[in-house]
Amino acid sequence: MDIPLKTVRQLYRTMVVIRAFEEKVQDLYARGHIPGLAHLYIGEEAIAAGVCANLGDKDYITSTHRGHGHVIAKGALLKPMMAELYGKETGYCKGKGGSMHIADVDLGILGANGIAGGGLPIAVGAGLSCKMKHPGHVAVCFFGDASSNNGTFHESLNFAAVHKLPVVFVCENNGFGISVSQAQHQAITDIAIRAAGYGMPGQTVDGNDVLSVYLAAGEAIERARQGQGPTLLECKTYRWRGHHEGDPNQGGRYRSKEDIQAWVEKCPIKRFEQYLSKNKVMTKKQMQAVWDEVELEITGSIEFAEQSPFPPLSEMYQDVLA
Amino acid sequence: MSRVITYAQALNEALAHCMDQDDSVFIMGEDVGRYGGIFQVTAGLQERFGVDRVMDTPISEAAFVGGAVGAAMTGMRPVVEIMFIDFITVAMDMVINQMAKMHFMFGGRAKVPMVIRVNIGAGRGTAAQHSQSFHAIFQHIPGIKIAMPSTPHDAKGMLIEAIQDDNPVLFVEHKKMYIDKGEVPEEAYTVPIGKAKVVRPGKDITVVATLNMVAKALAVAEEMAGQGVDMEVIDLRALCPLDREAVLASVRKTGTLITADEGCHTGNMGAELAAMVAEHALDSLQAPIIRVAGPDTPVAFSPPLEQAFIPSEQDLKDAVSRVLEYL
Ligand SMILES: Cc1ncc(C[n+]2csc(CCOP(=O)(O)OP(=O)(O)O)c2C)c(N)n1
Ligand SMILES: [Mg+2]
């Protein structure tokens, strides 16, 4: 594996930022500082980090209701992100979108999405504009296992394949759609096999292994950049928290503590830390320094969010039409 | 015997009763099984009636709403839960072109006895794609009954009525009302879909309200009574069939109409009532018709903006003041 060391360190840092951010959100939510719904990405960090490390600002992503990790990995700044979660005027969407709708089109982030499967056609459209106007750029579409049952999945993959669009469909298979397990919502275990039905390559990788994700996504993205069309990349993972903060007992109605614990053991970050130590890429001390630095950055984002004003009521009537 | 239970429990009892009585009744939706539905309306029903009659569906609204249409045409009585009304858009062909049209288009040869349960409403910080109140869209489509119960009592009775009805019924709930409590008889009963209810008789000002706006209208009516204004509050309870007579009778009595519904202002339920009154009771009007409604914007996430979206008691009082200027 000839991944530049700089990239390896970046993969680590991105995962740490996502984890630390989400743990803070968990705490802030529990203490009533953040309103509404928060769907946390804890345990799935390797996917966003591994995929987005292959992307530049001119590439696009579409995200999901569980989107904090995607947008962080795509380069979103923590201050306007946190402010958005608080519903403040300084947030990415002026506080009008909240956790489920963070977007920054300048960074290629075409929005987190409250509709399960809503992002797939949007990514196809971004792929179209890349093909027509920005050759060499790509669109990456994140979506969950359960969202692959929305009709938009079928229509989007077929459309992208027949027009050889530069789109990479990244399915985050965490084994559940809210309370419904994969075995209850579809009759297959590897979603990547569906790629064959659309005439595109499909691949399943260990979504808790950031290097595997990085390499597999890199190949798919490179194919897309070369005009060779879309790929379906499935990353197997697990969500540690409930479907959203407030889901009783982290999903105790539909899964056991033991199941959760078994996946906590497979923590993508711990695992990568072992790799980094073993291969002498980073020392324990250097890793700790990353956590410390990230902690400071997140604290700063919370201060920023808390000190920011709510949008004025007049803001409600702005942006309805352009 | 009646006792006090929540709106969600009242719906649950209606479902259990109908499933007990008729084995063609079954439930489909996301997380309705062991999770009990995101708002716990189907809690315990899968344990009682089994996984085939309380089915957790894939996230495939077009397939399970359309599936309900096909099942209903072939002898079943499906009750479908759409987690938030916002997601019915994914199944709009099935609702508008299929479900609503079959009976008419086939010359009366097919019946589609099914219920789609949805919830509307802002106030839970869930932003623009989980807070909408666009139920009035369906009022524009002939062939769908639209029930909107505002109390636990009516929730139970109207859901039993909806399930027994041979027509497709869109059953509109409000997500902030599931924990509201009220007196509900233990035994089964039905409440008609299409009959408004005068919940507070009065002679000065008519307010026609739906769902959560009914309680707000009643609170304002009590307050105004102290100032010598006698308000009549009508709970519309259904958008289709629309109880025109009940509204017209009240308007003819008071010479006024205020409507109250959480949907966006333009084209909401009040627009239809205003047009109907203009057509049939213009002579009776002594004041402008006023619609208390959500503004013509998506629902914002930010708490103060979201609160400002929701039509309030103050909005109703402002409407009453405007009407009073003419009386
Ligand atoms: C069209 C639509 N139907 C239902 C929902 C409600 N919902 C939100 S997230 C979710 C489960 C999504 O599961 P998955 O795609 O696997 O993503 P995960 O939450 O596991 O990350 C559901 C059913 C929705 N948002 N949109
Ligand atoms: Mg999932």
The ranges assigned to domains in chain B are 4-183, 197-324
The phi, psi pair for B3, rounded to 5°, reads: -145, 175
C-beta separation of B222 from B313 below 8 A:
no
Q: Do domains B4-183 and B197-324 have the same CATH topology?
A: yes
Q: Per residue in B193-217, pLDDT tens?
A: 999 999 999 999 999 999 999 999 9
What's the fold here for domain B4-183? Answer: Rossmann fold (3.40.50)
Q: What span, in angstroms and rounded, lies between the C-alpha atoms of A31 and A17?
A: 21
Interchain contact, A315 vs B305, CB within 8 Å = yes
> How confident is the model at residue B88, as a pLDDT?
98
**Stated pTM of the model:** 0.98
How many CB contacts within 8 angstroms connect chain A with chain B?
133
Instruction: Find tokens 């309805």 and name the residue.
Output: A320
| CA atoms of A224 and A218, how far apart (whole Å) | 10
Q: What is the mean pLDDT of chain B?
A: 98
The pLDDT tens digits of the residues spanning A198-227 come to 999 999 999 999 999 999 999 999 999 999
Determine the CATH number of domain B197-324: 3.40.50.920
Determine the atom of ligand 1 nearest the C-alpha atom of A174: 20
User: Residue B235: beta bridge partners?
Assistant: B197, B209
Q: What pLDDT was estimated at residue A1?
A: 61
State the nearest Cα–Cα gap between B295 and chain A, in angstroms: 8
Q: Do the chains contact at A179 and B86, CB–CB below 8 Å?
A: no
Average pLDDT over residues A112-122: 98
Instruction: Indicate the top mutation candidate among B59, B60, B61, B65 to test ligand 1's pocket, ranked by most ligand atoms within 8 A of CB.
Output: B59
Quote the CA–CA distance of A14 and A1 in Å, as a whole number: 20
Residue pLDDT tens, chain B, 327 long: 899 999 999 999 999 999 999 999 999 999 999 999 999 999 999 999 999 999 999 999 999 999 999 999 999 999 999 999 999 999 999 999 999 999 999 999 999 999 999 999 999 999 999 999 999 999 999 999 999 999 999 999 999 999 999 999 999 999 999 999 999 999 999 999 999 999 999 999 999 999 999 999 999 999 999 999 999 999 999 999 999 999 999 999 999 999 999 999 999 999 999 999 999 999 999 999 999 999 999 999 999 999 999 999 999 999 999 999 999
Q: What does pLDDT average to over chain A? A: 97
Residue A294: its pLDDT value, please? Answer: 98
CATH number among 3.90.1170.50, 3.20.20.80, 1.10.150.130, 3.40.50.970, domain A5-308: 3.40.50.970
Cβ distance B301 to A93 less than 8 Å, yes or no, reads yes
To the nearest whole Å, the CA of B179 is away from the closest chain A CA by: 17
> What ranges do the domains of chain A cover?
5-308
What is the percent of chain B with per-residue pLDDT over 70, rounded to a whole number? 100
Whole-Å CA distances, A67 to A62, A151, A305, B90, B232: 9, 21, 19, 21, 48
Omega cis (within 30) before A312: no
Q: Which pLDDT belongs to residue A152?
A: 98
CA atoms within 13 A on the CB side of B60: 20
In terms of residues, how long is chain B? 327
Q: How far apart are CA B298 and CA B300, in angstroms?
A: 6
Contact present, B116 and B80 (Cβ < 8 Å): yes
Distance CA A110, CA A129 (A): 13
Condensed to tens digits (0 to 9), the pLDDT of residues A73-106 reads 999 999 999 999 999 999 999 999 999 999 999 9
Residues in chain A: 322
Return the residue matching tokens 């987005």.
A52
